[in-house]
Structure 1
Amino acid sequence: MSTASLAFSGAGPIAGTTRERVLAAATELGYSGPNPLGRQLRQGRSGIVGVVVGDALRRSFRDPVSVQVLDGLVGALGELGLGVLLIPGSNDPSEPPVDPLVLSAAMDVAVLMWGGTLHDPVLDALRRRNTPLVVVEGQQLDGVAAVGIEDRSGTTLAVRHLLELGHTRIAVVTLPFDRTRGEGPATDERIDGIVYEVTRRRLGGVTDAGVVPTVVYETPASLVEHGAAAGRAILSGPDRPTAIVAQSDLLASGVVLAARELGLSVPGDVSVAGFDGLDLPWLAPDVLTSVAQPLAEKGAAVGAQVAELLAGGTPERVVLPVALRIGTTTGPVPV
């Protein structure tokens, strides 16, 4: 048995002729090699990293941000010989907040994408299982590895850019506040109760620039159609803002499309800035002014933290820089 194991693993002291005889016998018997499950049981590992995406999979795969981060992560994990189990986040308040896979699936490490709020039930469930964790863009929590970006200060850069252009009436289109995924202008009470850390931080970046938004418009997801609905609502009013900051590029591009639909010039009548730094050729001739984040590098950084956890280490929190990229969608305040 040990000789056969050495022959299939390709490691350890075994003569080449012996290995060839073992593999030839296996071919004759139709034996493909040791059972992976048995190997996992001996090692005490599943070889699987659970990735909780934080939203319904159908929406996540429509978002280039999610796809690019996952691509960087999966590439890094593939080099480690690890597989990925994608687990959808809860997107319906009427359903249980924790997917059954979070409670029962075998995984060596869990990655919680765009989550990790202080009272996140998914985070609590994984910690009760003593599953090593990497939280992406969530709160900094004791004993939990984390990868984030400078999104609050990046949002401040975008708002200051608009202020330098003379804008004072600035609206904000946000990512979801919580699992209820509301849509429409948010009250002060609603804003005070924001649960999702990404939304809270990026909105904080607006106030850090000294701006009180004319309206904070909540959307249920980072999708173009939600940005367009927000843009139509904000720009159809009698006292429309001269600039709109959106918390994602997909939302910002929807605002641009809504402005075109209403016969408004971008940036002649309204300036629009986003966040992510996506390449959106279908928005031509416009190129979004956006806060660019290193999406693939963020996924790779998560993969590096997974590797360190599996090696028994304690990863340091990683915070990646962002940069303001000036496009064609922002300009001087209309006279």
Structure 2
Amino acid sequence: MSPSRQTRKVTLRDVAELAGVSISTASLVFSGKGPVSATTAERVQAAAAELAYAGPDPLASSLRQGRAGTVAVIVEDRLLHAFRDPFALAVLDGLAQELDAMGTSMLLIADHGDAQPHPLAAHAIDAAIFPLCGRTDSPLVSHLLARRIPMIGAGAPLHDGVTHVLVDERGASAAATQHLVDLGHTRLAHVLMPIGPGRPTHRIAVAELEHAAYPDARERARGFLDVADPASPLVEAEQPDVAAGELAGRILLDVAADNRPTGVVAQSDLLAAGVIRAAEGLGLRVPEDVSVTGFDGVDLPWLDRQLTTIDQPGEAKGRLLGDLTRRALAGESPRSEPFDVSLRVGDTTSGPA
């Protein structure tokens, strides 16, 4: 290496000169986006190795393109809860596939709703995605609007500036409830995902739904009440996981037999699995003594049964979120799109004994 190269930063031009190719050809080798022969690519890579050239400066590239090359993926509360939820992982996987195909990086950020200024303010991003259950309102919306950053969501936050993948939460929950009614059940109960942050697992009154912070939990509860007796017991889970579902199940099922519901509609598959655990721990048979339905349609191989549930393909939902993001970044103005879900009958429901 010449003394001059040792005292200054190596550039793509240096690599191209050493390899005996044009700068544009060398650039194609590093981007992987052009037709370059294997022999030429090897020559460029060998020159880069000799000069200890790590590749084009991504910051300079983003400045030239007017893009950061990064999309913020905003997850409510702790990331731990998302990574424990198989449905959330499926959504994030489908989204990651689409972003990878776009050559866009994913910046995963936990939104606790109270950080001021929010950590997102320090990052250059091209778009923001709210892929999972979230609050009706988010302080991030006004911040992102001021930066003119496109926003894509999955039903929350509710704002005209956010383009959504929309599920008929109310109609789907009503369908699961109607399935139990059609089987002959009259004593029903409902296990809700959290309707607000920091709330323990407990019984709630119907009136509390009007103040719910999370629209998906509120709408699924409304769907249940569209079909079930309005006096049916409602239990809100602290988290949409198995442990909280089991506690909710014990609250509902550890009562006298004539007061015990024969059918339980849960707002997630993990909550439904918890209710099944509670039933079995109390010596009750599923579905003979109590039928249970879930929501999401995730694979739970450890449950050792096929859950009756609302099938909501997570990977496909994530891919649609990514597609809306791609269209927004291409300069389009995509509209919110519906996402179809359906009832899938398994072996956790039957007629009441």
Q: Output the TM-score relative to the length of structure 2.
A: 0.86
State which drifts further: 120-129 or 267-276. Answer: 120-129
Query: What is the deviation of 1:99?
Result: 7.6
Cα distance in 2 for partners of 1:323, 1:168 equals: 23
1:295 aligns with 2:295: no
1:100-123 deviation digits (Å, cap 9, x = unpaired): 322222211100123565532233
Contact 1:98 1:121 survives alignment (8 Å): no
Paired position in structure 2 for 1:262: 282
Paired position in structure 2 for 1:190: 208
Which is higher, the Rg of structure 1 or of structure 2? 2
Paired position in structure 1 for 2:10: none
Contact 2:165 2:337 survives alignment (8 Å): yes
Match of 2:330 among 301, 311, 314: 311
Q: Output the TM-score relative to the length of structure 1.
A: 0.90
Query: What is the deviation of 1:139?
Result: 5.8
Alignment of 1:95-134 (within 5 A): 96=114, 100-115=118-133, 117-134=135-152
Query: What is the deviation of 1:142?
Result: 2.0
Paired position in structure 1 for 2:344: 325
Match of 1:51 among 73, 79, 91: 73
Q: Percent identity?
A: 40
The 1:24–1:192 alpha-carbon spacing in structure 2 relative to 1, beyond 3 Å, is: closer
Alignment of 1:1-335 (within 5 A): 1=13, 3-4=22-23, 6-10=25-29, 24-90=46-112, 96=114, 100-115=118-133, 117-138=135-156, 141-238=159-256, 239-284=259-304, 286-334=305-353
1:255-303 deviation digits (Å, cap 9, x = unpaired): 001100000111111111111112212111x221101012111000011
Cα distance in 1 for partners of 2:236, 2:95 equals: 29
The 1:127–1:331 alpha-carbon spacing in structure 2 relative to 1, beyond 3 Å, is: same
Query: What is the deviation of 1:20?
Result: 7.3
Number of aligned residues: 329
Cα distance in 2 for partners of 1:23, 1:191 equals: 61
Cα distance in 2 for partners of 1:148, 1:35 equals: 39
SS at structure 2 position matched to 1:138:
coil
SS at structure 2 position matched to 1:263:
coil
State which drifts further: 223-232 or 26-35. Answer: 26-35
Query: What is the deviation of 1:9?
Result: 2.7
Cα distance in 1 for partners of 2:284, 2:39 equals: 77
Cα distance in 1 for partners of 2:226, 2:64 equals: 53
The 1:179–1:7 alpha-carbon spacing in structure 2 relative to 1, beyond 3 Å, is: same
Amino acid at match of 1:54: E
Amino acid at match of 2:127: V
Cα distance in 2 for partners of 1:278, 1:115 equals: 16
Amino acid at match of 1:29: L
Query: What is the deviation of 1:213?
Result: 4.9
Cα distance in 2 for partners of 1:210, 1:109 equals: 41
RMSD over aligned CA atoms reads 2.5
Q: Structure 1: which 5+ runs fail to align? A: none
Cα distance in 2 for partners of 1:118, 1:249 equals: 23
Amino acid at match of 1:58: L
Contact 2:153 2:163 survives alignment (8 Å): yes
Query: What is the deviation of 1:187?
Result: 2.6
The 1:86–1:156 alpha-carbon spacing in structure 2 relative to 1, beyond 3 Å, is: same
Paired position in structure 1 for 2:7: none
1:123-155 deviation digits (Å, cap 9, x = unpaired): 333223322100112265323211122322111
Amino acid at match of 1:96: D
The 1:99–1:289 alpha-carbon spacing in structure 2 relative to 1, beyond 3 Å, is: farther
